[in-house]
Amino acid sequence: MPHTLLDLYSLTKGTEYIVIGAYLFLLISFWRFLTYKDKD
Amino acid sequence: MDTSRRQFMKVVAGLGLSATLGGAGIARADTHELSGLPNQFGVLVDTTVCIGCRRCEWACKEWNKLPNQMDLKEYQKDQNVFQTFRRTSADTYTIVNRFENPRDPSKPIYVKKQCMHCYEPACASSCFVQAFTKRQIGAVTYDPAVCVGCRYCMAACPFEIPAYQYYNPWTPQVTKCTFCFDRISTEGGVPACVAMCPVETMTFGKRTDLIDLAHKKIRDNPGRYVNHLYGENEVGGTSWMYLSAVPFNRIGFRTDLGTTPIPTLSKAFLSVASPMYIVFPALAIGLYTFAKRREAVCKEEISEALKKKEGK
Amino acid sequence: MEAKVEIVQPSWVEEQLLLGMNWRDYFKSNLTPFNAVMAIILAIGIPVMVYRIAFGLGPSTNLSDYNPWGLWIGFDMLAGISVASGGFCIATAVHIMGMKEYESMVRPALVAGTLGYLFAVVGLLFDLGRYYRLYFPFFVSPGPNSILFLVALSVALYLHCQFFEWCPAIFEWLNLRKLRRWWIRGTLGFSIAGLLLTTGHQSALGSLFLLMPSKVHPLWYSDYLSILFYVSAIYGGITMVIIESMISHRVFADQLHGDDPGRFDRLTLGLGKAAAVVLFVYLGLKVLDLAHGYKWSYLATPYGYWYLFEVLGFVGIPALVMIYAVQNSRPVMVRGAAIAAAIGVLLNRVDITIVAFNWGLPWEYRYVPSWMEVVITITIISIGLLTFRFIVNRMPILHEHPDFEPEHP
């Protein structure tokens, strides 16, 4: 449990950046999957 | 319908509403349940009592084994050190400054300066390797094992406390008061400077008790103190708090720091930066598709125009 | 019997590294005044760099406990990165917004941008107390609560991303066909990543100062610091591309022989138009910031005059001159305004970090860079220039490689 704003930000920002990483990975593979279909 | 019944009806309606929304209690919308540091220690410094003997400086250097230590007598004899306004430096965690006393010129005011151990420290919120941690017992401790030496903490501290070992070429460290973290962690432990003070300027105890003590002192001695406990709310509250007979800006304190904790200043940007990483790729892909399509349409129109020209 | 013609097949090193000459000819070809100046700078700079490393920050800088950040952070890091965002602007314009006519400017801007970032980080290394721990925020103990963590992460990622964007030029130089063909498919991805990361760190660099309302002068401190830094980095980048193309057009004229002169001026005018718009946006933001922070009274103070000099002199006037020049298609005037605007960005960063920082202190505590800091900054910049020339002379940056068809994402 975060005690101070500082702990809160460390926790929230840390998990945010992990979520962003996962999201970007999924977005790229989703986009490649979409455009790959157009090619053949 | 007298007010109490109207009050009662409002509460029932409120509870009913939150029950239907499934809120367990009346959940506060934005601020999370931060448990805070209820039993953190603090120190109340009464600047009207301090006599400027600078024994606390000696005790601090002695306990922390800081360089350029002098004999105790030297500290008391060396009065001209008060000529200039000093600040904490690489080998000194705490210093005592002298200020003229507008109310009684014969009795100057001595003010001890060291890390305030903020409740929401700017140094900790600025450090990108989390070298500073606000401990349960109130001390803000520095970990040289991870410090990269970027010195952002020195720039961010509103009280100008952290100093740097500029003259240590290979392993420079940030230096600041540690609230004698090792001493106060043991039961009944007291910081070295507080133990050394001959005139009880500093009172060490739970921060909440000290706040009550301070306000009691102000009430019990009307006219002796300015009715303001410096550190109670400044930059979100600090562990070290000061009482003064004269306005604080005359004894080296900044009175324009406001009460918002420093970390909240970076909240605005931090809460926009992350969504940007989610939204902008989609915008960029949209822009790219738009540009690609416009190019294709343009090619089509050119080939049609050419075909029509040849067709004629 | 005809003389046996002995065909001297230049070795790979001579062919690739020494521009087809052998060592003696290559050395003779380098005896130019420009190289002489560079040699002097390096002769002075390298020992000063060694002195800084050996004796630490104390003896080699005027940094103090009141002024932890000096020229290396204010100029090399902040100003350097703001002005090195030319690669981002052109890559976004060409690869994402499809402005194909600027295709020829993509690679030089990217190379200059990458070198700008690389040597900004080198400047940072000289400023860090424990430079050998630069990787700590990523691998050892991350502190995501700090904006500097965002800056470090996005600058590091963007440095690599920008390098990858112009890697095909290196593969063309080394004749790695298959790798180049596979690599080009990622250009769009790198451009979008570049857009993301640049938006991330340019605004984060400004937001570093959000934590210090009591230290930075109210005229320069503002809640809009993030967007102000981002917009000024964009026109800083565009104007730097105008300046770089101007210089490389003159210095590397032989590589641009195939180019018709009108095109270069047209490109400069196009960039000038973009820069004029962004300058105008930035000016609007500055005035809005004055209103938002209710700072009108500060304008009447000496700091106010310096602020007006910076904003009107280096943003207002260049914007008007740029608009006039673009209207009457005067490329020379566009370049002049670009130089002024770029200097304006450098001045703004130095202002915030040094001039407006801890402005309440008495003068004797204020910071003035020591000569060693200035020498090391100049040395870093000249090493950057030499590297840029090394790359442009060897790799197909300013011209297409003959036996490779141009990449189109």
Residue C399: how many CB atoms within 10 A of its CB? 16
Buried b (16+ CB within 10 A) or exposed e, B161-199: bbbbbbeebeebbbbbbbbbbebbeeeebbbbbbebbee
Q: Which of B270, B156, B131 is nearest to C209 (CA)?
A: B156
Q: What is the pLDDT of residue C219?
A: 94
Domains contained in chain B, number: 2
% of chain C surpassing 70 pLDDT:
97
Q: Using CB atoms, which residue from B32, B266, B278 is nearest to A20? A: B278
Question: Please, what is the angle between helix C147-165 and helix B263-311, to 10°?
Answer: 30
SS3 call for C222: coil
Q: What is the pLDDT of residue C249?
A: 85
Give B9's Cβ-side CA count (13 Å radius). 5
Q: Which CATH number characterizes residue B194's domain?
A: 3.30.70.20
Q: Which of B176, B169, B173, B177 is nearest to B148 (CA)?
A: B173
Token pair, residue C219, equals: 């005229």
- Confirm whether B21 is domain-assigned: no
- Confirm whether B24 is domain-assigned: no
Q: Which of B155, B188, B25, B162 is nearest to B88 (CA)?
A: B162
| Residues of chain A found within 8 Å of residue B124, distances taken between Cβ atoms | 6
Q: What is the pLDDT of residues C262-302, one digit of tens each?
A: 888 889 999 999 999 999 999 999 999 999 989 999 999 99
Q: Using CB atoms, which residue from B171, B254, B285 is nearest to C214? A: B254
Mean pLDDT of chain C: 90
Instruction: Answer whether B295 sits within 8 Å of C150, measured CB to CB.
Output: no
Residue C14: how many CB atoms within 10 A of its CB? 17
DSSP, residue by residue, chain B? --HHHHHHHHHHHHHHHHHHTT-SS---SSS------TT-EEEEEETTT-----HHHHHHHHHHT-SS---HHHHHH-GGGGGS----BTTBS-EEEEE--TT-TTS-EEEEE----BSS-HHHHH-TT--EEE-TTS-EEE-TTT-----HHHHH-TT---EE-TT-SSS--EE---TTHHHHHSTT---HHHHH-TT--EEEEEHHHHHHHHHHHHHHSTTTS-S--BTSSGGG-BSEEEE-SS-GGGGT--S-S-SS-THHHHHHHHHHHHHHHHHHHHHHHHHHHHHHHHHHHHHHHHHHHHHHHHH-
Instruction: Answer whether A14 sits within 8 Å of C189, measured CB to CB.
Output: no
Q: What are phi and psi of C357, to 5 degrees?
A: -85, 135
Q: Could you say which residues from 90 to 129 on chain B have a Cβ atom under 8 Å away from some Cβ of chain C?
A: 90, 122, 124-129
Q: Which residues contact B136 (CB under 8 A, 6 or more apart)?
A: A3, B37, B39, B40
Instruction: Answer whether B273 sits within 8 Å of C150, measured CB to CB.
Output: yes
Residues B86 and B141 in one domain: yes
Q: Could you say which residues from 1 to 40 on chain A have a Cβ atom under 8 Å away from some Cβ of chain B?
A: 1-6, 8-10, 13, 16-17, 20, 23-24, 27, 31
Mutate to test the interface with A, among B28, B134, B141 (most CBs of A within 10 A): B134
Q: Using CB atoms, which residue from B152, B167, B277 is nearest to C58? A: B167
Does residue C406 carry a pLDDT above 80? no
Q: What is the pLDDT of residue C259?
A: 65
Q: What is the pLDDT of residues B217-248, one digit of tens each?
A: 999 999 999 999 999 999 999 999 999 999 99
Q: Which of B34, B27, B29, B28 is nearest to B263 (CA)?
A: B34
CA distance C152 to C155: 5
Q: Which of C347, C350, C234, C241 is nearest to C281 (CA)?
A: C234
Mutate to test the interface with C, among A10, A15, A19 (most CBs of C within 10 A): A10
Residues B184 and B218 in one domain: yes
Mutate to test the interface with B, among C76, C131, C135, C210 (most CBs of B within 10 A): C210
| Residues of chain A found within 8 Å of residue C142, distances taken between Cβ atoms | 14
Min Cα–Cα distance to chain B from A14, Å: 11
| Residues of chain B found within 8 Å of residue A2, distances taken between Cβ atoms | 32, 34-35
Which residue matches tokens 């103990």? C141
Residues B111 and B194 in one domain: yes
Domain that includes residue B256, residue range:
37-260
Could you tell me where the beta strands, DSSP code E, fall in C166-229? none
Which residues does residue B203 pair with via DSSP β-bridges, in sequence order?
B44
Residues B255 and B280 in one domain: no
- Confirm whether B12 is domain-assigned: no
Q: What is the pLDDT of residues B78-137, one digit of tens each?
A: 888 899 999 999 999 999 999 999 988 899 999 999 999 999 999 999 999 999 999 999
Question: Please, what is the angle between helix C331-350 and helix C317-327, to 10°?
Answer: 160
CA distance C385 to C392: 10
Q: What is the pLDDT of residues C5-31, one digit of tens each?
A: 667 777 777 777 777 778 888 888 888
CA distance C388 to C397: 10
- Confirm whether B10 is domain-assigned: no
Q: What is the pLDDT of residue B218?
A: 94
Residues B112 and B245 in one domain: yes
Does residue C72 carry a pLDDT above 90? yes
Does residue A20 carry a pLDDT above 50? yes
Q: What is the pLDDT of residues C214-255, one digit of tens each?
A: 999 999 999 999 999 999 999 999 999 999 999 988 888 877
- Interface membership of C196 toward B (CB under 8 Å): yes
Q: What is the pLDDT of residues C126-180, one digit of tens each?
A: 999 999 999 999 999 999 999 999 999 999 999 999 999 999 999 988 888 899 9
Ramachandran category for residue B304: left, alpha or beta (phi over 0 → left; psi -120 to 50 → alpha): alpha
Question: Do B172 and C129 meet the contact criterion of CB atoms below 8 Å apart?
Answer: yes
Does residue C41 carry a pLDDT above 90? yes
Min Cα–Cα distance to chain B from C35, Å: 33
- Confirm whether B302 is domain-assigned: yes
Token pair, residue C69, equals: 């950040």
Question: Do C150 and B273 meet the contact criterion of CB atoms below 8 Å apart?
Answer: yes
Instruction: Please give the residue of chain A at the shortest CA–CA distance from B121.
Output: A6
- Confirm whether B19 is domain-assigned: no
Q: Using CB atoms, which residue from A9, A10, A24 is nearest to B281? A: A24
CA distance C297 to C356: 16
- Confirm whether B153 is domain-assigned: yes
- Confirm whether B55 is domain-assigned: yes
Residues B246 and B130 in one domain: yes
Q: What is the pLDDT of residue B6?
A: 58
Q: Which residues contact C368 (CB under 8 A, 6 or more apart)?
A: C62
Token pair, residue C358, equals: 């801890």
Residues B288 and B172 in one domain: no
Does residue B18 carry a pLDDT above 60? no
Classify C32-392 by CATH class.
mainly alpha
Min Cα–Cα distance to chain C from A15, Å: 9
SS3 call for C313: helix
Split at pLDDT 50, 70, 90, the class of B32 is low
Instruction: Answer whether A6 sits within 8 Å of B32, measured CB to CB.
Output: no
* Strand pairing category for B109-113 and B132-134: unpaired
Q: Which of A11, C215, C210 is nearest to B266 (CA)?
A: C210
Q: Average of pLDDT values for A11-37?
A: 86
Which residues does residue B110 pair with via DSSP β-bridges, in sequence order?
B98
CA distance C109 to C165: 11
Min Cα–Cα distance to chain C from A11, Å: 8
CA distance B135 to C106: 51
Question: Do B235 and B115 meet the contact criterion of CB atoms below 8 Å apart?
Answer: no
CA distance B212 to C406: 76
Token pair, residue A6, equals: 């500082």
Instruction: Answer whether A2 sits within 8 Å of B136, measured CB to CB.
Output: no
CA distance C152 to A25: 21
Residues B43 and B167 in one domain: yes
pTM for the model: 0.90
Instruction: Answer whether A10 sits within 8 Å of C144, measured CB to CB.
Output: yes
Q: What is the pLDDT of residues B171-219, one digit of tens each?
A: 999 999 999 999 999 998 999 999 999 999 999 999 999 999 999 999 9
Q: Using CB atoms, which residue from A1, A5, A17 is nearest to B264? A: A5
CA distance B8 to B3: 8
CA distance B85 to B96: 9
Residue type, B213: L
SS3 call for C2: coil
Does residue A35 carry a pLDDT above 80? no
Residues B54 and B127 in one domain: yes
Buried b (16+ CB within 10 A) or exposed e, C175-203: eeeeebeebbeebbbbbbbbbbbbbbbbb
Q: What is the pLDDT of residue C407?
A: 62
Token pair, residue B309, equals: 């020209």
CA distance B287 to B115: 51
Residues B285 and B152 in one domain: no
Radius of gyration of chain B (CA): 29
| Residues of chain A found within 8 Å of residue C149, distances taken between Cβ atoms | 13
Q: Could you say which residues from 1 to 40 on chain A have a Cβ atom under 8 Å away from some Cβ of chain C?
A: 6, 9-10, 13-14, 16-17, 28
Min Cα–Cα distance to chain C from A18, Å: 11
CA distance C308 to C306: 5
Residues B228 and B312 in one domain: no
Min Cα–Cα distance to chain B from A37, Å: 15
SS3 call for C61: coil
Min Cα–Cα distance to chain C from A16, Å: 9
User: What CA–CA distances, in Å, run from B187 to B135, B181, B183, B191, B195?
Assistant: 16, 12, 9, 12, 15
Residues B278 and B168 in one domain: no
